[in-house]
């Protein structure tokens, strides 16, 4: 794969816009799971970080993880990890990208239609 295969078009506002070649970025549209470690001090900071994460384009879900709830797990299609981390740094403070991995079929939650907790008879 060649990185130099990027198409450039001119928009009507005379700004240049980069269009990736279809062969280059086919992997961007797979579901990804990202873990970001954030220094959070309270509930207000946690809720603000979750709002920022969910507001990014392509994010389908965000959840807190870890013993101190200091990590955010973000799942989505075509989410840019750099944009996510930068937005969290601007809004909350220190943010560190821990991992980025594709979502496996076993990791996805599948609801069997049970409707919640059921008692055994």
CATH of the domain at 44: 3.30.70.100
Q: Which domain, by its residues, includes 42?
A: 27-102
Domain-embedded: residue 85: yes
What pLDDT is stored for residue 108 in this prediction?
58
Domain-embedded: residue 39: yes
Cα Dmax for the chain = 70
What pLDDT is stored for residue 64 in this prediction?
94
Number of domains in the chain: 1
Domain-embedded: residue 78: yes
Q: What letter would DSSP give residue 92? A: T
To 5 degrees, how large is the angle CA 77–CA 83–CA 87?
A: 120
Tokens of 68: 């101190």
Sites in the chain below the pLDDT cut of 70: 1-29, 106-121
Integer Cα distance of 95 and 38 in angstroms: 5
């Amino acid at each position: 794969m060649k990185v130099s295969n990027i198409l450039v078009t001119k928009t009507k506002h005379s700004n240049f816009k980069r269009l990736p070649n279809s062969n280059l970025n086919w992997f961007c549209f797979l579901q990804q799971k990202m873990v970001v470690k954030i220094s959070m001090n309270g509930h207000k900071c946690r809720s603000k970080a979750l709002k920022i994460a969910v507001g990014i384009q392509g994010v389908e879900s965000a959840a807190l993880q870890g013993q101190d709830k200091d990590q955010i797990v973000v799942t989505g299609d075509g989410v840019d990890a750099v944009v996510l981390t930068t937005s969290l740094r601007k809004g909350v403070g220190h943010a560190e990208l821990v991992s980025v991995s594709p979502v496996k079929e076993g990791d996805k939650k599948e609801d069997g239609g049970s409707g919640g907790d059921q008692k055994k008879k």
